[in-house]
Structure 1
């Protein structure tokens, strides 16, 4: 596995812990279909949560949240509907959350969590 992929997987593991610590149950990871990939799928009460995780070693290329564009949010919403249909789970609501992991691998990482970004 490439170093970039390892970094991303490590960030996703930390992000899953952030969700679980908030009582949000992670039910799927790295779901893929021809239209794209969802990092984490979770359930928060009756809401399906699609969590986008962005991991960076530093701010050299900008804050991780800067990579979550309006087009990315639209794609994530579509992917959430596709995931729901594929798994025959039809929640009351769908929410997109974002988790930034900064500095993963070089000491204690800093995590930021934004609920309902799109």
Structure 2
């Protein structure tokens, strides 16, 4: 991955976390990593633990940010979420999987939040 793509992704994740915070979410973790993979943002929405996949795009050359969350990526996020819940003993909380899409076009940044974007099944 190029340095530019890493920087773009990190900036998108920071924007997504700020966006969620501005809507009353509490950010519990960013870039939670384990052997099974990574989750970009873990947040609390009332009593619901929200696992957020952040996708950042500059233009639509490779499809939209939302379209880029594949079934394989969804399965990985669900696996990592299970590990996060076990490590933090949070199994009593309801869980949700959201996608936050950050699209950058010139000087314009658009953030789209898809609540309950995919399930754990």
Q: TM-score, normalised by structure 1?
A: 0.92
Would the aligned equivalents of 1:46 and 1:91 in 2 still touch at CA under 8 Å? no
Q: Trace 1:94-105 onto structure 2 (pairs within 5 A).
A: 94-103=95-104
Distance 2:8 2:92 in 1: 31
Gaps of 5+ in 1: none
Distance 2:17 2:48 in 1: 16
Equivalence for 2:113: 113
1:23 equivalenced with 2:24 (yes/no): yes
Q: Trace 1:15-94 onto structure 2 (pairs within 5 A).
A: 15-94=16-95
* RMSD of aligned alpha carbons: 1.4
Distance 2:115 2:54 in 1: 12
Aligned length: 117
Gaps of 5+ in 2: none
* Aligned partner of residue 115 in structure 1, secondary structure: strand
Q: Which has the larger share of strand?
A: 2
